[in-house]
Amino acid sequence: MKNFAYGRPASIEQAQSYLNKGIPDVFLMGGGTDLLGEIKEGIVEPAAVLDLKAIPGLAGIRKEKDAFVIGAAVSIADVAENAEIAGLFPVLHQAAGVISSPQLRAMGTVGGNLCQRPRCWYYRDASILCTKKGGAKCYAEKGRNTYHAIFAGGFCWSVYPSDLAPALIALGAQVVLCAAEGERVLPLGRFYAPPIVNVRKENILTGREILKEVRVPLPKPGDKSAYVKFIERGAWDFAIVSAAVWASVSGNSIRDIRIVCGGVAPVPWALAAAEDDLRGSRISQMSVSQAAARAAAQAVPLSENGYKVYLLESVVTDAVLKAIRAPTPGRDTSTRSPT
């Protein structure tokens, strides 16, 4: 590991003043649970690391008139343990609660989780120059690809590991990105870029921008949500396949729905086909299962990960049924069994 400069700015302005100097290889750090691993493994060699966790403006949670705002430096543990989040956004509460271990949830931040790098074993091997590190070949395409993508591969078949990203995209969340010139606000789904857009990065952050906060619209009557994550080990694991669902339900009908999956593509993956099938439909297990099967049929598995197609059907079906059968957010659920 090479030496690097370390900075702990006290404000967003201080961090941006450093970024605006144009020094190459400056890395931003939240909790460090991903970046420090990359540094130790020799995957990246920063000239400087800016620790953003001490910036007060990034560490707050607040409720506004139309949105719930979560700062980028808020710990994942704080999200998982926040009673208001649990009541308003079950999918986010459930996703945060199954991330890694209690110790890593206490260290990791919302911004870090949304900006983390893939866990592909070829990318994480310092001796292999894959496309994501500037090489000419994705070694997973013809190599060992048990855990790799079944959608949107090609240049890179890694999968995006975040649990929070699918949940927040399903909820219609926006991110606020700030630079010296000002802020820009965009849907979280547009924050991510597939390999065909930029194989070296997973998001659209420029070298001078900081992810400041996430804005989650407050639920309306009939809004429901749920998260289902399939993992190989009992705990501390990244999703093999996950599904985050938000649905607007009226009586026995689905007015609107969003389904976003993890573990199946290089970016959080929306199942537009299943959403189209279910939007405006009557609620039934058969209709949900059929929609999930049709969406999964669009997958393009590799030599070792065809099992993910069938697993995706099951996980999506479970998540949609869990969401639409859940109590309405904000209602008193103290006498109910946890979902």
pLDDT tens digits along 107-137: 999 999 999 999 999 999 999 999 999 999 9
Contacts of 229 (CB under 8 A, 6+ apart): 95, 98, 163, 239, 242, 262, 315
CATH superfamily, domain 223-324, is: CO dehydrogenase flavoprotein, C-terminal domain (3.30.390.50)
pLDDT of residue 56: 85
pLDDT of residue 143: 97
pLDDT of residue 334: 34
**Phi-psi map region of 313: left, alpha, beta (phi>0 left; psi -120 to 50 alpha):** alpha
Residue tagged 């990960």 (tokens): 305
State the sign of the Cα–Cα–Cα–Cα dihedral 262, 225, 87, 335.
Answer: negative
pLDDT of residue 54: 84
CA 117 – CA 159 distance, rounded (Å): 9
7: which strand partners? 50
CB 169 within 8 A of CB 260: yes
pLDDT of residue 96: 97
pLDDT of residue 113: 97
Closest by Cα among 168, 148, 157 to 70: 168
CB 184 within 8 A of CB 177: yes
CA 98 – CA 24 distance, rounded (Å): 35
pLDDT of residue 23: 83
Residue tagged 């407050």 (tokens): 218
CB 161 within 8 A of CB 116: yes
pLDDT of residue 234: 67
Question: E strands, the chain, where?
Answer: 5-7, 26-29, 48-51, 61-63, 67-71, 174-179, 182-187, 210-217, 223-230, 241-250, 253-262, 269-270
Question: E strands, 96-156, where?
Answer: none
pLDDT of residue 338: 32
Name the CATH architecture for the domain at 1-52.
2-Layer Sandwich (3.30)
- Ranges in the chain, pLDDT < 50: 332-339
How many other β-carbons are positioned within 10 Å of the β-carbon of residue 118? 20
Contacts of 13 (CB under 8 A, 6+ apart): none
pLDDT of residue 40: 92
293: which strand partners? none
pLDDT of residue 330: 63
Decide the pairing of beta strands 5-7 and 48-51: parallel
Domain ranges in the chain with CATH number 3.30.390.50: 223-324
Domain ranges in the chain with CATH number 3.30.43.10: 1-52
CA 274 – CA 295 distance, rounded (Å): 5
